[in-house]
């Protein structure tokens, strides 16, 4: 991707990562088209200087209309959420294959030469993630395939489709496998939130209600790594300026248990909570971490923001949103 000013489509730009990315691209002086199926009032960030489209990109005609006149496409559009959502909405998650398929078709039709696809660490096989002291996942570990049911299969299929569009039609495609992105201006309530936001909200609620107990899904010993949103945007920009076209991990390799995640949020909040473990709740794989060997080779960089620093910013943003909601003000949830 060159430094010249471009007309860029951010598909799914009403969501968490897409909202941050659209703002970043606008600051660089690009003309940005933001497309999302949610009504504007439900977008996590609404950038008035962008061309904002409320449209369902599962439809072919909608994709062709949104792509027309654009030089570059960032596809971050999909139905997804935390473990509870993707466990209980497998068919809905898989329907997102329509978005990537139709956007690629539109890219070919309109001569778009630069395309970014946001994949996920959920493409990695369950059989490589059965222990808490998991071996960090290398990009090659995706095969033999056995990804997360529903959401993971959609992402893996879409990766392959992107590769074949690159091979057959010459579109320059970049793919990142995101590992648990978190931060302000993201989902923090309602069932789609991921673990960092959920833990922050639960502790904030416990404080507000004078209740010192929170529920933890599973035994709290399952392990994950979490990447702050600023690192995610930095990584996307670096990848788009590279010539590397195979799927690449984008995640911080700071492995923690969910109990350790709670410890950090407790320290930020200045409280201590009791933990009630719900062993019947969705838990996902036992352990997952990002092997960053390849990204360091390709980009000379890896995500840098440590979990405590990112969680502190996230906690205080969610606390502000919670307090606004308690006052009856409209918030993004």
What's the CA gap between 310 and 155, in Å, rounded?
26
SS3 174: strand
Of 74, 124, 151, 165, the catalytic one is 151
Q: What share of the chain is helix, strand, coil (3-state, %, to 5)?
A: 45, 15, 40
| Cβ contacts of 90 within 8 Å, gap of 6 or more | 149, 150, 151
| Cβ contacts of 325 within 8 Å, gap of 6 or more | 331, 333
Helices 307-326 and 195-209 cross at an angle (nearest 10°) of 50
SS3 273: coil
N-to-C CA span, the chain? 34
151 is catalytic: yes
Q: Which residue has the tokens 């996920």?
A: 120
CA of residue 118 relative to chain centroid, distance: 8
Burial of 3 (0-12, 13-18, 19+ CB in 10 A): exposed
Are residues 1 and 239 in contact, defined by beta-carbon separation less than 8 angstroms?
no
What's the CA gap between 179 and 250, in Å, rounded?
6
Q: Where are the beta strands (DSSP E) in the chain?
A: 7-11, 31-36, 51-54, 72-75, 114-120, 172-178, 181-182, 213-217, 223-224, 227-228, 248-250, 256-257, 274-278
SS3 178: strand
Residues carrying an active site annotation:
151
């Amino acid at each position: 991707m060159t430094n010249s000013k471009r007309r860029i489509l951010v598909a799914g730009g009403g969501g968490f990562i897409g909202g941050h990315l659209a703002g970043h691209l606008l600051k660089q002086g690009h003309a940005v088209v933001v497309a999302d199926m949610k009504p504007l009032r439900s977008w996590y960030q609404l950038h008035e200087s962008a061309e904002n489209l409320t449209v369902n990109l599962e439809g072919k005609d909608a994709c062709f209309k949104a792509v027309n006149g654009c030089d570059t496409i960032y596809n971050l559009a999909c139905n997804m959420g935390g473990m509870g959502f993707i466990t209980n909405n497998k068919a809905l998650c898989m329907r997102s294959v329509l978005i990537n398929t139709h956007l690629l078709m539109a890219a070919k039709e309109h001569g778009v030469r630069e395309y970014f696809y946001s994949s996920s660490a959920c493409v990695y096989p369950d059989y490589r993630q059965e222990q808490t002291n998991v071996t960090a996942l290398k990009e090659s570990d995706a095969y033999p395939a056995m990804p997360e049911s529903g959401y993971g299969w959609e992402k893996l299929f879409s990766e392959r489709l992107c590769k074949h569009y690159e091979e057959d039609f010459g579109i320059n495609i970049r793919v990142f496998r995101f590992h648990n992105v978190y931060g302000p201006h993201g989902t923090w309530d309602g069932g789609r939130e991921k673990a960092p936001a959920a833990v922050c909200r639960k502790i904030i609620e416990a404080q507000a209600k004078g209740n010192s107990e929170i529920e933890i899904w599973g035994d709290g010993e399952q392990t994950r790594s979490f990447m702050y949103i600023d690192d995610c945007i930095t990584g996307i920009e670096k990848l788009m300026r590279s010539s590397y076209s195979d799927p690449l991990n984008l995640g911080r390799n700071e492995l923690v248990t969910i109990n350790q995640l709670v410890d950090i949020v407790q320290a930020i909040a200045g409280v201590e909570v009791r933990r009630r473990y719900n062993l019947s709740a969705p838990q996902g794989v036992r352990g997952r971490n990002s092997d960053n060997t390849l990204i360091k080779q390709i980009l000379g960089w890896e995500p840098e923001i440590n979990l405590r620093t990112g969680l502190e910013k996230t906690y205080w943003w969610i606390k502000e949103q919670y307090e606004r909601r308690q006052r009856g003000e409209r918030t993004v949830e």
